[in-house]
Amino acid sequence: MAKSAYTTQDKKTLRKMFWNSGLVFSGFNMVKMEGNAFALTMEPALEELYEDQTERAEALQRHNGFFNTHAVFFALIAGITYALEKQKKTSGGVDDDVIENIKVALMGPTAGIGDAFFFNCLRVIAAGIAIGLCAQANFLGVILFVLIYGFSQFAARYYLLRMGYRYGTSFIDSVFESGLMEALTKAAGVMGITMVGAMVASSVNVKLAWTINVGQTSVVVLDIFNSIMPGILSILLVFGMVRLIKKGYKPITLVFGILVISIVLAFFGIF
């Protein structure tokens, strides 16, 4: 399904849907996840399409079930659903089950794409830049993080909502069939891993102050480790934390554990 142009009513409805989609986590719960927010996002479209109160109520109820995907691609699915609802109302080309099945089918793939690109890649890049500036007491780091990570999602939501409505189901099909999404996901993963490595090197610093005296000679333990590989203790610390998290330890527990161990070792002059 494809559309050639937006009508004035289309633009008005999409604008309302866009602002409503920003409330994706406002009604989040463990039963429906983002279901309440999806119904709220679809409300302007359903109000436009269904003048009959009973039909509109049934449509809202249909879209108020379980729904969960990445916050940015949430808008894409809403746009596609708007296109399908309009097709159902005007030509009867689709029915309720088809619309619901398409929504369910898109939740998983779009969640994976969104997490890989925005959460695992772009967020890490933005945080790496921001942390470096904030570590130097430069407030620009906060602003850049909001602009890079926040504004990019804001703009992507707007674009994907309109594209989802304009091209309907053919949008997501063409992207996957072209192989572009697989390439983007793989590139995003590589970039994310690279940025994690850069953040470890620049932000994690294990400063040993341990010096061993052997006769008239002093041996700095940190120099020994750095001679093997610069920053090896930082890398070992990060991998150790990852290992413990995989075993079920909570991050907050590890943070307090590092704090206590650091205080104890500093008392004995090791740190």
- 49 vs 87: which has the higher pLDDT: 49
- 103-145 pLDDT tens trace: 877 887 888 888 888 887 888 888 888 888 888 888 888 999 9
Averaged pLDDT of the chain: 80
Closest to 111 (Cα-Cα) out of 151, 81, 76 = 76
What pLDDT is stored for residue 210 in this prediction? 73
What pLDDT is stored for residue 62 in this prediction? 86
What pLDDT is stored for residue 5 in this prediction? 57
Residue 221, pLDDT > 80, answer: no
Residue 19, pLDDT > 90, answer: yes
What pLDDT is stored for residue 18 in this prediction? 92
Q: What does 189-253 look like in DSSP terms, one character per residue?
A: HHHHHHHHHHHHHHH-------EEEETTEEEEHHHHHHHHSTTHHHHHHHHHHHHHHHTT--HHH
Across residues 56-71, what is the average pLDDT? 87
